[in-house]
Amino acid sequence: MISHPAGNLPRRPLGRTGEKLSIIGFGGIVVMDETPEHAGRVVREAFEAGVNYFDVAPTYNNAEERLGPALEPFRKEVFLACKTMERTAEGAASELNRSLRNLRTDHFDLYQMHSLETREDIEIAFGPGGAVEAFTAAHKEGKARFLGFSAHSVEAALRAMDAYEFDTVLFPLNYVNWYAGNFGPQVVEKARSKGMGILALKGGAHTLVPDGGVPPYRKCWYLPHEDSREVQRSFNFTLSLPITAALPPGEEKFWRLALEAGCSFRPVDEKEKTALKEKALAARPLFRYPAWK
């Protein structure tokens, strides 16, 4: 169980939305494939520790079905974000309604295009009959209070911000990507200039699994930081960026370590940034910029 008392987890403003979120969020993967009873216990623990930001997606196996009932007692007191990989208006609208049923709610606080990465993603989602039409309709109908996207390439993120006035961006931000992959500064700068809320993925990520290797964790396709001190350093860096909150790796033990790190957060100084940059350059970043050719 988390030892920190409720309310010890700081909250920050989410861009221009007027909302304030806990600096560590709860990713639905944590309860994916768990029993309903266990999911309920973990979600209650998160809420009591001060977490008010919950994020999920239909691509996470049965995470929606587990998170919905577990979160139901606290729904009015939390900020619930969901996502869709669908790129057409018809597909996105259908998946949105299914996710609402699974999560036992009549609206999402944030609905996001999930994992924009390629030119094709952008062309379809923002073209005629694209998902953006369903997003606009969902906002007008009250099914989505705010609209955002997640991306796994700098190029896609920049294009999406040019194409639509989103409220938020969810992007992989950690010191290895930042220093070794030149991945992230461009997105943070543009999102800030537009007054968007910035949310971080992969704050606890370290490096890629070696070629030919097998990921050691079922809910994590990369190698996360495992030592509590390294987890703290990693989240200290990510949370020192001008962001609102970070989502930890999906394994429950890493979510717990991240929650501890959030409660103990302190900004990194220049000496620490220099040390982290040196460490980053010895690792393989999960993502790099540029990615498009």
The pTM score is 0.97
**Residue 4, in any domain of the structure:** no
With respect to residue 292, please indicate whether it lies within any of the assigned structural domains. no
pLDDT in tens, 143-187: 999 999 999 999 999 999 999 999 999 999 999 999 999 999 999
Asked if 280 and 207 count as a contact pair (C-beta separation under 8 A), the reply is no
Q: For residue 287, is it within any domain?
A: no
Distance in angstroms (rounded) separating the CA atoms of residues 212 and 210: 6
Find all residues with CB under 8 Å of 214, minimum gap 6, and list them: none
Q: Name the domain count of the chain.
A: 1
Residue 275 sits in a domain whose CATH number is 3.20.20.100
With pLDDT > 70 as the criterion, what percentage of the chain qualifies? 98
Residue 2 lies inside a defined structural domain of this protein: no
State what percent of residues in the chain have pLDDT above 90: 97
What's the domain range around 248?
A: 11-280
Phi/psi of residue 185, nearest 5 degrees: -55, -40
Does a structural domain hold residue 290? no
Q: What is the pLDDT of residues 107-130, one digit of tens each?
A: 999 999 999 999 999 999 999 999
Q: What is the pLDDT of residues 59-76, one digit of tens each?
A: 999 999 999 999 999 999
Residue 1: pLDDT above 80?
Answer: no
